[in-house]
A and B are shown apart, each in its own frame.
Chain A
Amino acid sequence: MEEPEKLVCDGIARGYVPPEVLSISPRLRLYSSSSATEVDPITYEVIRNTLLNINLEHGQTIQKLSISPITMIVRDFQCAILTEVGDVMCLGPYLLYLGNMLALITKWILENRSDEPGIQDGDVFLCNDPYVGTSHQQDTGLTSPVFWEGELFCWVANSVHYSDVGGPVPGSFCLASEDIRQDPPCFPPMKLAEAGKLRVDVEQLFLRQSRLPSTVDMDLHAAIAGLNLARERIIKLIQRYGPEIVKAVIDEVMDAGERAVVEKLQMIPDGRWSERVYTEVSVPGDRGIYVSQINIVKEGEYLYVDNEGTSPQVGAINNTYAGLAGGVLAPLTIMLGYDLAGTSGGLYRRVKFRPVFGTITCADFPAPISTAGVYNMPMVVATATGAVAKMIACADSPLREKAIGMADVHAYGGWIFNGINQHGQFFVGMSAGMATGALPASPVRDGVDTGGLFWVPGMEASNVEENEMAWPVLTLYRRENAAGAAGAGKFRSGLGAEEAWILHGTEQMDVHVYMDESFVKNQGMMGGNPGGRAFFKVKRSTDVNQMLANGSIPQNYDELKGEEEKTFFKGPPIVLKRGDIWCTNLPNFAGFGDPLRRDPELVAKDLADGKLTVHEAQIVYGLVLATDGSVDVDGTSAYRESRYLKRLGTIAKSPLKSSS
Chain B
Amino acid sequence: MERQQVLIGDNLRLARVEGAIYFICACGQTLGSGDENFKDYCLVEESATASIGAGYKASDQGMADQVCFREFFCPSCGLRQATEIARVGDPYLSDIQPRL
Contact = CB atoms under 8 A, between A and B. Distances in A.
Contacts of A620: 53
A651 B79 CA distance: 13
A272 B73 CA distance: 22
Nearest to B77: A644
Contacts of A593: 9-11
Contact of B91 (A517, A597, A645, A657): A657
Nearest to A299: B99
Interface string B57-72: 0111011101101001
A273 B95 contact: yes
A275 interface: yes
Interface class of chain B by DSSP? mixed
Interface in A521-548: 521-530, 532-533, 535
Nearest to A592: B9
Interface residues of B, number: 57
A594 B83 CA distance: 9
A519 B97 CA distance: 28
Contacts of B11: 526-527, 593-594, 597
A519 B61 CA distance: 9
B25 to A, nearest CB: 11
Nearest to B73: A647
A516 B55 CA distance: 11
A270 B99 CA distance: 6
Given A270-B98, A526-B8, A535-B55, A653 B44 contact: yes
A527 B66 CA distance: 22
A410 to B, nearest CB: 12
B78 interface: yes
Nearest to A653: B43
Contact of A269 (B3, B84, B91): B3
A533 B63 contact: no
B91 A651 contact: no
A658 interface: yes
B83 A530 contact: yes
Given A269-B100, A394-B7, A443-B9, A519 B58 contact: yes
25 contacts: A269-B98, A273-B96, A274-B94, A276-B86, A394-B98, A484-B55, A485-B52, A488-B53, A490-B10, A516-B58, A517-B58, A520-B85, A524-B83, A530-B52, A530-B69, A535-B55, A569-B63, A592-B9, A594-B80, A594-B81, A596-B79, A596-B80, A597-B11, A651-B45, A656-B44
Given A519-B85, A521-B85, 9 more contacts: A271-B99, A394-B96, A482-B54, A527-B80, A535-B55, A567-B59, A653-B43, A653-B75, A659-B94
Interface of A: 269-276, 278, 280-281, 287, 289, 291, 293, 386-387, 390, 393-394, 400, 443, 482, 484-486, 488, 490, 516-530, 532-533, 535, 566-569, 587, 592-597, 616, 619-620, 643-648, 651-654, 656-660
Interface of B: 3, 6-12, 36-37, 39-40, 43-46, 49, 52-56, 58-60, 62-64, 66-67, 69, 72-73, 75, 77-87, 89-100
